[in-house]
Amino acid sequence: MTDIESFIRGLPKTDLHMHIEGSIEPQLMLDLAARNGMKLRWDTAEALRGAYQFDNLQSFLDLYFEGCKVLVTEGDFRDVTRAYLRRAHEDGVVRAELFIGPQSFIERGTPLEALMSGVLGAMQEARREHGLSVGLMISVHRHRTEADAMVMLDQIMPWKDQIIAIGMGGAEIGNPPAKFARFFKAARDRGFRTTVHAGEEGPAAYVREALDLLQVDRIDHGNACLADPDLVRELAMRRIPLTVCPLSNLRLQGVTEMARHPLKTMMAQGLHVTVNSDDPPYFGGYVTENLLACRDALDLSLQEIVRLVRNGLEAAFVTTEEREMLLGQLDDYLARHAGASMS
């Protein structure tokens, strides 16, 4: 590892867009399948990793939902969350905000109580053992109905104080944000922060709907906004954070090569861009690998890398006091590595 790589890995950073059910490393997926008496289509971690070739978002989602089936018990949810948080801590992450989409698990018979206590238990452990700041976001599936999402909202209320935000993901094309306007209003009325996947494969109009109709606090991805200059100006002026996931965009063919990724253009246009991992094993990397891939392909300066990391800390769903503490950690790190950060 070069000095620059270790400097970037050590930066106190965030991961604000990461799906717990998309973070199962291949070996853990095989272990969980065996534990639950299931037979996967792959026998080895290498064979499973070899299947991670995607043509688009839907081809990924097909494999992703198949992988989700190995998560059944409270212990399964604890183990997968624990494994991700350990890796994130080693990756320099100081604040992790994790999505989980309970709908498909509940449908297969896992009680919501088991899912929540597994995930929240692992989060509590990571706070204690690694000093990690971590928050849970509940995500609904946009390919299901708004009525289904409303049911989910009712079901999670017993854990309201332990949930930092409500989000939405899944197949984007044909499922515009407008379909969920009442759901997002209900979530906001109940005091939740909100975020939504928009403009990943969908058009700029979906990002506009997310902003105007859903009135979200953050946009997940958002890349497509660049096609609408007025929208870019508004997102920049209102400092709406975009949780961009470069390796995810590359692996899902949103860009043909990393050198064509719009990240640097987005930064140049004043957008509040952050870099995140989305589903790390499927897309080939945690946050540091995402930053390194962007640095190599887009020739980002260290100042630009630090800007992206600072943007993440500023976009986190934390209290003002906690944000100041986290930004203080970054400033301390930069002061200790003044030589590296200036080069």
Query: Cβ of residue 298: shortest distance to Zn ion, in angstroms?
Result: 21
Q: Which is nearer to Zn ion, 201 or 278 (CB)?
A: 278
Say whether 161 counts as a known binding-site residue: no
Query: Cβ of residue 245: shortest distance to Zn ion, in angstroms?
Result: 6
How does DSSP classify residue 257? S
Tokens (6 digits) for 36:
């639950």
Q: Which is nearer to Zn ion, 102 or 304 (CB)?
A: 102
Catalytic residue at 200? yes
Binding positions for Zn ion, rule: CB under 5 A: 278
User: Any bridge partners for residue 167, and if so which?
Assistant: 139
Query: Cβ of residue 276: shortest distance to Zn ion, in angstroms?
Result: 8
Beta-strand pair 193-198/133-141: unpaired
239 phi and psi angles, rounded to 5 deg: 55, 40
Q: Which is nearer to Zn ion, 276 or 311 (CB)?
A: 276
Amino acid in position 204:
A
Distant-in-sequence, close-in-space partners of 15: CB < 8 Å, separation ≥ 6:
88, 91, 93, 95, 96, 97, 276, 277, 286, 287, 312
In whole angstroms, what is the distance from residue 112 CA to residue 106 CA?
6
Buried b (16+ CB within 10 A) or exposed e, 253-292: ebbeebeebbbeebbebebbbbbbbbbbbbbbbbbbbbbb
Say whether 143 counts as a known binding-site residue: no
Please name the helix (run of DSSP H) or strand (run of DSSP E) that holds residue 336, with its range, or none.
helix 320-336
Task: Classify residue 273 as left (phi > 0), alpha (psi -120 to 50) or beta.
Answer: beta
Query: Cβ of residue 189: shortest distance to Zn ion, in angstroms?
Result: 25
Tokens (6 digits) for 226:
């660049």
Say whether 221 counts as a known binding-site residue: no
User: Any bridge partners for residue 278, and if so which?
Assistant: 18
Q: Which is nearer to Zn ion, 80 or 114 (CB)?
A: 80
Query: Cβ of residue 23: shortest distance to Zn ion, in angstroms?
Result: 11
- Please identify which of the residues 21, 97, 172, 200 carries the catalytic annotation: 200
Residue number of the CB closest to Zn ion reads 278
Q: Which is nearer to Zn ion, 144 or 333 (CB)?
A: 144
Tokens (6 digits) for 58:
């839907």
Question: Binding-site residues for substrate, please?
Answer: 279
Question: Binding-site residues for Zn(2+), please?
Answer: 17, 19, 197, 278
Q: Which residues are catalytic?
A: 200
Question: Binding-site residues, please?
Answer: 17, 19, 197, 278-279
